[in-house]
Amino acid sequence: MSSQSADQPLNCSDKKVIHKVYEKMAAPASWKAYTIVRRKDIANEIVQEVFIRLWQSGGIFPNEKAIYAWIYKACHRAAIDHVRSATFRRESYVDSYADEAKDGAKTQEDSLLDREAIIACTKNLSAEEAEIFVYAEVDKLTQVEIAELTGKSRRTIQRISAKIEETFKQARKQHDN
C-alpha cells in the first residue's frame, strides 16, 4: 500500500484500506479457498464473506503482513467449515476425481475410496486437527510452516500430525474392508 508504510497500523474500518487489501489479496485468498472446496463460485463467496467480516470488525492490524495472515487463516477456516457442512457433503465433487481417473493417475473407484476415507477421517478430527490436516495434505506445508501459521510449537504440530495419520490409517482400513 503506497500511501502507508509497511510498519504503519492498518484500520479496517477505512474503505480505502479494505479496497487496497482486497485488490491485492482477493485472488490469492480465492485460490486458497478453492484448493479446499474445489469450486470457484464457493471459493469466491468465502472470500467475499471474509472481507465483509474484516470490514465490519473495524480491526486495526499492526502491518500488512498481519492483515494478510488474518485473511489467509480466515479463508482457510471458512473453507474447512464449508467442507465439514452437511451441504458440502451432499454436493457432487466427483468431477475432480473423475479428471484424475481420465489422466490415468488413479481409477475413478480409487479416487472415490480416497475421498470417502478422507471424509470419514475428517469427521473424527477436531477443527484444529482438520485445519492441520488440510495445511499438510492440501497445501503441502511443512510442519515448521504449519507451526508458524497456527502459532503452535513444532512439537505440538508433530504430535497432532501423528494422531491425524493414525486416524486416517484407521479410516482407510475401514473403507478397504
Distance from C-alpha of 142 to C-alpha of 146, rounded to nearest angstrom: 6
Distance from C-alpha of 17 to C-alpha of 40, rounded to nearest angstrom: 25
Identify any residues that bridge with 60 across adjacent strands, giving them in sequence order: 11
Fold of 97-177: Arc Repressor Mutant, subunit A (1.10.10)
Give tens-digit pLDDT for 89-106. 544 444 444 444 455 555
Same fold, 10-91 and 97-177: no
Distance from C-alpha of 108 to C-alpha of 114, rounded to nearest angstrom: 10
Give tens-digit pLDDT for 17-44. 888 989 998 999 999 898 888 889 989 9
CATH class for the region spanning 10-91:
mainly alpha
Structure-block grid coordinates of residue 70 = 488474518
Sequence ranges of the domains in the chain: 10-91, 97-177
Report yes or no: 128 and 160 within 8 Å, Cβ to Cβ. Answer: yes
